[in-house]
Amino acid sequence: MSPQGFLQFALLLLALALTAPALGRYIARVNDQDKTGRGAPGDRVFAPIERAIYRIGGIDSSNEQRWNVYALSLLAFSLISFLAVYGVQRLQGHLPLNPTKVASVGPWGAFNVAVSFVTNTNWQWYSGEGAMAHITQLLVLAVQNFVSCAAGLAIAVAIIRGITRRNGRTLGNFWVDVVRNTTRVLLPLSFVVAIALSATGVVQNLHGYTKAATVDATVQVNSRSVVEQQIPGGPVASQEAIKQLGSNGGGFYNANSAHPFENPNPLSNFLELYLIVLLPIALCFTYGAMVGQRKQGTVLLIVMMAIWIATTFFTSFAETGGNRRLTALGVDQSVSALQAGGNAEGKELRFSTASCAQWAAATTGTSNGSVDCMHDSFTPLGGSVPMLHMLLGEVSPGGVGVGLMGALTNALLAVFIAGLMVGRTPEYLGKKIQAAEMKLVVLYILAVPLALLGFAAAAVLLKSPVRSLQPGPHGLSEVLYNYGSAANNNGSAFASMNAATRWYEVTQGVAMLIGRFFLIIPALAIGGSLVRKRRVPVTVGTFPTDNGLFAGMLAGVIVIIAGLTFFPAMALGPILEHFVK
């Protein structure tokens, strides 16, 4: 990694250290519904707005819900959101605020996009500037960026309540949690960030295409000289803010954050990279504050950071090391004052190879999915690391809310294994972890592998989907990466694969649904099971979960489960490609 790359990463860690703890504690205060009557921050400003929303929506904010009602509320909210996103896409050709005159989206493409944005995946088979009208971007896609993220936050705090409450029955109120996290966390932060991004040069307008004369009139397309260029505009900065902050990742433009209108310079690049990991890391401090034991949140943070930093450096060294086939031909790929060095294929030269690797590790570890370079152009080893980072379950540091959810689920498994080792009933924060919780943990762990490996196997065996793939191990890498992205609600892609086909639109949509709801519902059920239990006193036989030993065990559980599940497939994909190319 270049000195500039080390400096950028050090500044990123410093910025997170200065801001994430305070933000995490603020989120804990916002979601503190322990019925003590203590007010939440910003009540004077936000409480009247929230009461109006409750009145319009018919929400009884004092009525808390059991886990199954909480889950049904999430499903109902998601269904309504799906219908809204689907309907606006199908009608956008006839709606106002469509200055580029784009047509309505087809039924299967609209299904895929609606599922994608409702599940916080934001996978895109389409070119944003060419397929989506401004009305669609503003009315449904940007709105989903807020509420799907707020739903993830709500799930995380509901599970925390299940761990902390004693002899209870309820986990909070889903509607209240979504409203509070939107009004008090996501909207204020996004407003400030959008202004900052606009100041760095990110586009923010309601224009269609701006026509400009080309400097070079000798360029020809289809034997005709190109003398005019159409420059697309749109409300980009406002969507870019919540796209990065909320682990969304869907780009306004086809090139995503590699496009200069979304990410014009190194300053905007650093700010967007910081936003990708800010909330997931802050939630570790939220957890520590809500359970009343900061060390518990610190253990989760250490595991998340260790995996994230390891993948960042491995990807950086793999990409800055360059392409060995070019080295054999005498090509100089070294880092110097005159060139960024390394594997420059698919990289945005404004940001350097090291910066691209840092972004790749952050975006695949957080279910964000945005890119500032093309992952499909990575070296085989360099591309295998973002893929593996997703396959770990995106718990390092994970998506907003769902990353913490995954870390806690793995923590319960680690505690159970530790209990088996010493012959005691395992406990986590004073709650006994028994067969009921372990059955739900197993369902949680199996959902994504079944969707990912099942659809990937079908895609390489059936004649129609296999036509979209490149031959050889790289083709398998493409299908593994893209189904891994869908099932883990990430949204990034090995983009050379043609995903705009009926097969991929449908199967990836189903994989996104499995990756969202077949994880959230068991996790809520775990919270509902734990909330009913009494706390047992700590004894000398209690396995501590707030020290380095447990952190190492948790990291081991995460890595071993992913290794046992996905290593055979990766051995035939990126690992084999590394040795044959």
Q: What pLDDT was estimated at residue 38? A: 62
pLDDT tens, position by position, for the chain (581 residues)?
A: 677 888 899 999 999 999 999 999 999 999 985 544 567 788 889 999 999 999 999 999 889 999 999 999 999 999 999 999 999 999 999 999 999 899 999 999 999 999 999 999 998 888 888 899 999 999 999 999 999 999 999 999 999 999 999 888 999 999 999 999 999 999 999 999 999 999 999 999 998 888 888 887 777 777 788 888 888 999 999 999 999 999 898 889 989 999 999 999 999 999 999 999 999 999 999 999 999 999 999 999 999 999 999 999 999 988 888 777 777 777 777 777 667 777 888 888 788 888 899 999 999 999 898 999 999 889 889 999 999 999 999 899 998 999 999 999 999 999 999 888 877 778 999 999 999 999 999 999 999 999 999 999 999 888 888 877 778 898 899 999 999 999 999 989 887 777 778 898 899 999 999 999 999 999 999 999 999 999 888 877 788 899 999 999 999 999 999 999 999 999 999 999 888 86
Q: Dihedral of CA 54/55/61/64: which sign?
A: negative
pLDDT (tens digit per residue) in 337-374: 667 777 888 888 788 888 899 999 999 999 898 999 99
Contact of 171 with 158, CB cutoff 8 Å: yes
Give which of 418, 417, 409, 393 is closest to 530, Cα–Cα: 409
376: left (phi over 0), alpha (psi -120 to 50) or beta: alpha
User: 489 phi and psi, to 5 degrees?
Assistant: 55, 40
Burial of 44 (0-12, 13-18, 19+ CB in 10 A): exposed
Report yes or no: 441 and 409 within 8 Å, Cβ to Cβ: yes
Query: Which of helix, strand or coil describes residue 494?
Result: coil
Q: Tokens 């047509």 identify what position? A: 103
In contact, 265 and 272? CB cutoff 8 Å:
no
532-544: pLDDT as tens digits: 999 888 877 788 8
pLDDT score of 58: 94
Q: Is 352 left (phi over 0), alpha (psi -120 to 50) or beta?
A: left
Single-letter amino acid code for the residue at 97? L
Q: Does residue 512 contact residue 115 with C-beta atoms inside 8 Å? A: yes
Q: How far apart are CA 223 and CA 161, in angstroms?
A: 66
Q: 3-class SS at 225? A: strand
The residue type found at 381 is L
pLDDT score of 338: 67
Q: What is the pLDDT of residue 33?
A: 59
Return the exposure string of 419-449: e unless at least 16 CB atoms fall within 10 Å of the residue's CB, then b.
beeeeeebbbbebbbeeebeebbebbbebbb
What CA–CA distance (Å, rounded) separates 476 from 482? Answer: 10
- Specify the residue for token string 């895929």: 112
CA distance 72 to 78: 10
Q: Which helix (H) or strand (E) holds 230?
A: strand 228-232
Per DSSP, which regions of 259-355 are E strands? none
Residues 61, 76 contacting (CB under 8 angstroms): no
* C-alpha to C-alpha distance for 433 and 419, rounded to whole angstroms: 9
152 close to 139: Cβ distance less than 8 angstroms:
no
Sequence-distant (≥ 6) Cβ neighbours of residue 379 within 8 angstroms: 318, 319, 321, 322, 323, 343, 578
**What's the confidence (pLDDT) of residue 366?**
92
At residue 509, the pLDDT reads: 94
The structure's pTM equals 0.93
Asked if 74 and 535 count as a contact pair (C-beta separation under 8 A), the reply is: no
Please identify which residue in the block is written with the tokens 């491995």. 314
> Which tokens is 566 given?
């996905």
Q: Tell the residue number behind the tokens 């739900």, with chain if given.
A: 440
Give the separation between CA 569 and CA 575, rounded to whole angstroms: 9
Are 379 and 549 within 8 A, CB to CB?
A: no
SS in 3 state form for 506-547?
Answer: HHHHHHHHHHHHHHHHHHHHHHHHHHCCCCCCCCCCCCCCCC
d(CA 237, CA 243): 10
